[in-house]
Amino acid sequence: MTTYGSFPGTRPRRLRSNPVMRRMVAETRLHPADLILPAFVREGVSEPVPIGAMPGVVQHTRDSLKKAAAEAVAAGISGIMLFGVPEESKKDALGTPGTDPDGILQVALRDVRSEVGDDLLVMSDLCLDETIDHGHCGVLDDQGRVDNDATLERYAEMAQVQADAGAHVVGPSGMMDGQIGVVRDALDQIGREDVAILAYTAKYASAFYGPFREAVGSSLKGDRKTYQQDPANVRESMRELALDLEEGADMVMVKPAGPYLDILARVADAVDVPVAAYQISGEYSMIEAAAEKGWIDRDRAIMESLTGIRRAGARSILTYWATEVAQQLRDQ
């Protein structure tokens, strides 16, 4: 006699039975257009300079940066975020290379725009840390503290020269109070209402920035805990979010991404503007290092980490794997 109604009648495993089934029911998908490539360009070098703490990432020459931008377009990603690394001798207490029209970042912006036009969003880091001799994100007062309002004046100048150099999007990343409003006003004053602002809304004082310090040749001694956010706090991020939106942010971002997926989800649920997340240098380097040791499957770990960021609510992801991953997605 046949017995029916065997337990369990509901079997979720049916929807995991083969690759086509899993693909059909997937709730979260990565697409090349979700990705933005952070890229470093270094003044005064004739060949790309490998970054020891970030295997596979380099400080570009002007020519190799243009090639990387063209590859990004071919891969279908949406943007490239540029960081300029000036010659050490040009750094000073005001971060002068950041407002010099011939500073390396402004030169690189013009190079990339001439190479890709509007086929790729050309984005610029708007911060002083790469250009200033003490490595902080702002100018210092006479007691050695980061002077918020004096720094805002420098950010306003930076925004204008970056817009003039061709930036579609500026990314104020220094976590100064009022930075979004000042940058928006500075851009509007020169008739650049078209330039968008990607606000680094929740930028935490993280240990995972370590490899980035090598990438930009940072001179920082100490930490940035007086202006970047405390990793223990959540409500603080939501307050920063409200302020950035009130000041005119077009997009908002959480940085780092992986250790702060809860913050990312809270931000994504709260707003109706695009939300980005930055998978930072330490996140990149940990996966690369573990894969080099043979401890994890590199490609699977990359995709899993990016899917988690996307699932948490990021519309756009800044990742050093952007072009590589986009190429893989297009080949699937």
User: H-type helices in 170-209, by residue range?
Assistant: 179-189
Please report, in range form, the residues annotated as the binding site for 5-aminolevulinate. 213, 224, 281, 320
Instruction: Kindly list the distances between the CA atom of residue 11 and the CA atoms of 6, 14, 16, 17, 326, in Å, as whole numbers in the listed order.
Output: 11, 6, 10, 11, 34
Residues making up the binding site for Mg(2+):
240
Rounded Cα–Cα distance for residues 139 and 110 (Å): 26
The whole-angstrom distance between residue 102's C-alpha and the CA centroid of its chain comes to 24
User: Residue 35 and residue 206: Cα distance in Å, rounded?
Assistant: 22
Among the listed residues 90, 203, 225, 293, the single catalytic one is 203
Catalytic choice (66, 67, 90, 255): 255
**What's the CA gap between 162 and 123, in Å, rounded?**
9
Residue 37: which H helix or E strand, with range?
A: strand 35-42
Please state, in angstroms and as integers, the Cα–Cα distance from residue 148 to each residue in 72, 78, 97, 174, 198, following that order: 36, 32, 19, 10, 19
Catalytic residue flag (residue 221): no
What are 244's two structure tokens?
């950035």
Residue 282 to residue 226: CA distance in whole angstroms: 21
Bridge partners, residue 277, by sequence = 254, 317
Cα 269 to the chain's mean position, in Å?
Answer: 20
Indicate if 225 belongs to the active site: no
Binding-site residue ranges:
213, 224, 240, 281, 320
SS3 (DSSP) at 187: helix
Helix (H) or strand (E) run with residue 121 in it: strand 121-126
Active-site positions read: 203, 255
